[in-house]
Amino acid sequence: MIAKKAKASHTDLVVDKFPDDELRVQFKANLKGKNVVLVQSFYSNVSDCIIECILAAETAAELGAKKIILAAPYFPYLRQDKRFRSGEAVSQEIIAELFDLYFDSIYIIDPHLHRKHSLKDIFHSKTVKLTANLLTSEYIKKHIKNPIIMGPDEESFNWAKSVADSIGAESRILKKIRYSSYHVEVKLNKYIELKDRNVVIVDDIISTGHTIVETAKLLRKMGAGKIYCACVHGIFAGGGLKKLKAAKVEVISANTVPNEKAKIDVSGLIAKSLR
């Protein structure tokens, strides 16, 4: 889809596994003198995806590619941007350093930037930051009547505020306390009237879904009508989507990571910026 929209030629990378689970990647096209764009969404088995990218990038260079570009609709490991617990790896920096070694430029849709404000503070390679915010706003505007936008925590501000502003909707950022990967608490900063209103929780990533489930519980207590959640990266780890269905949250996601709720197509965003 991206290649077609960018009016570029396309070849599938052959990826399979040796019997001992090691990856084997192979290009079937002639890459000599070409700008090669590797598209990788880092879902399902993130570690395999990383190895696949590195093997492919180095091979493309050996086969004579002119430039090696990574187009990552979703880029992983950005949330571990500090040593939260003693002895922990600051994975964001380590993974970025690894990709810097193999790619001339890196395009990422809605990277999770929090303590580091720009991709330039993370990578040395040329980076391009893209956002699905406008596409999300258009979707909400078209399908949800008179919404109020909620950001579940301060990290969601970049998404929730920008989406709300482009729709011209009211918005509020809530407070989240994270105790562990599976235990979060979401609190209200200031009372807001929600009786029977359509509320859209906007966040960049849904991983386990706990952030959204806890936010929905709070909003429901406050009398909210229908509760939606619009996210960019729908990872839905460990049955996250089931939990959201049980919490009666209608989920809308972009297709940066393939999933059954992917209704917002970002291929045009990448194609346009590559062109």
Helix 157-167 / helix 133-143 crossing angle, nearest 10 deg: 50
What's the token pair of residue 44? Answer: 């399902």
Q: Which of 5, 116, 145, 176 is an active site residue?
A: 176
- Closest approach, Cβ 214 to ligand R5P, in A, equals 8
- Closest approach, Cβ 103 to ligand R5P, in A, equals 25
- Closest approach, Cβ 257 to ligand R5P, in A, equals 13
Q: Is 23 helix (H, G, I), strand (E, B) or coil?
A: strand
Interface region with ligand R5P, contact rule CB under 6 A, candidates 19-27, 207-215, 244-252, 263-271: 207-215
For ligand R5P, which residue of 76, 111, 147, 209 counts as binding (CB under 6 A)?
209
Interface region with ligand R5P, contact rule CB under 6 A, candidates 41-49, 135-143, 197-205, 266-274: 197-205
With binding defined as CB under 6 A, does residue 206 bind ligand R5P? yes
Q: Choose among 108, 107, 73: nearest CA to 258.
A: 73
* Residue in the block written with tokens 């617990």: 85
With binding defined as CB under 6 A, does residue 261 bind ligand R5P? no
Q: Give the residues across from 251 on adjacent strands.
A: 229
* Between 27 and 157, CB nearer to ligand R5P: 157
With binding defined as CB under 6 A, does residue 133 bind ligand R5P? no
With binding defined as CB under 6 A, does residue 110 bind ligand R5P? no
With binding defined as CB under 6 A, does residue 147 bind ligand R5P? no
Q: Furthest-apart CA pair in the chain: how many Å? A: 62
Enumerate residues 6+ apart whose C-beta is below 8 A from 131: 109, 110, 162, 269
Contact between 83 and 50 (Cβ < 8 Å): no
For ligand R5P, which residue of 52, 81, 110, 203 counts as binding (CB under 6 A)?
203
With binding defined as CB under 6 A, does residue 36 bind ligand R5P? no
With binding defined as CB under 6 A, does residue 81 bind ligand R5P? no
- Closest approach, Cβ 62 to ligand R5P, in A, equals 37
- Closest approach, Cβ 218 to ligand R5P, in A, equals 14
For ligand R5P, which residue of 25, 70, 205, 252 counts as binding (CB under 6 A)?
205
For ligand R5P, which residue of 106, 130, 153, 232 counts as binding (CB under 6 A)?
153
The whole-angstrom separation of Cα 64 and Cα 177 is 49
With binding defined as CB under 6 A, does residue 234 bind ligand R5P? no
With binding defined as CB under 6 A, does residue 197 bind ligand R5P? no
Sign of CA dihedral 234, 239, 244, 245: positive
200 backbone dihedrals φ, ψ, rounded to 5°: -115, 115
Helix 46-62 / helix 91-102 crossing angle, nearest 10 deg: 20
C-alpha dihedral (165, 176, 201, 45), degrees to nearest 10:
110
The whole-angstrom separation of Cα 154 and Cα 98 is 29
Say whether 67 is catalytic.
Answer: no
What's the token pair of residue 19? Answer: 């019997």
Query: What is the contact surface with ligand R5P in residues (CB under 6 A)?
Result: 79, 152-153, 155-156, 184, 203-211
Active centre residues (catalytic)? 176
